[in-house]
Amino acid sequence: MRYKVGAGDFQQVPSLAHRSDGVFGVARMAPVGPTHAVCAVTGATVCGITAEALEVLNEDWEAACFVEKCADCFAAVRARGSG
């Protein structure tokens, strides 16, 4: 994993799992707004914003498909290629 997901804000998302006893599963937290690519080695953001303002998740930013991605991070990661 080259980049981790960095998010500045989160919201609670209810679980979609409905158990047979009528109780829904535990709600989860999901990023709100654009997420940023945070270098897994240095901890720096690709777009240059302050990483201290972000919560860094142990998830692969490049593989994350259900999050909004910062346009500057997306362009920079794409320009750097897969190596």
pLDDT the model gives residue 81 = 81
pLDDT band at 57 (very low <50, low <70, confident <90, very high): very high
The mean pLDDT of 60-69, rounded to a whole number, is 91
Distance (Å, rounded) from C-alpha 69 to C-alpha 6?
Answer: 10
The mean pLDDT of 62-66, rounded to a whole number, is 89
Q: Mean pLDDT over all residues of the chain? A: 87
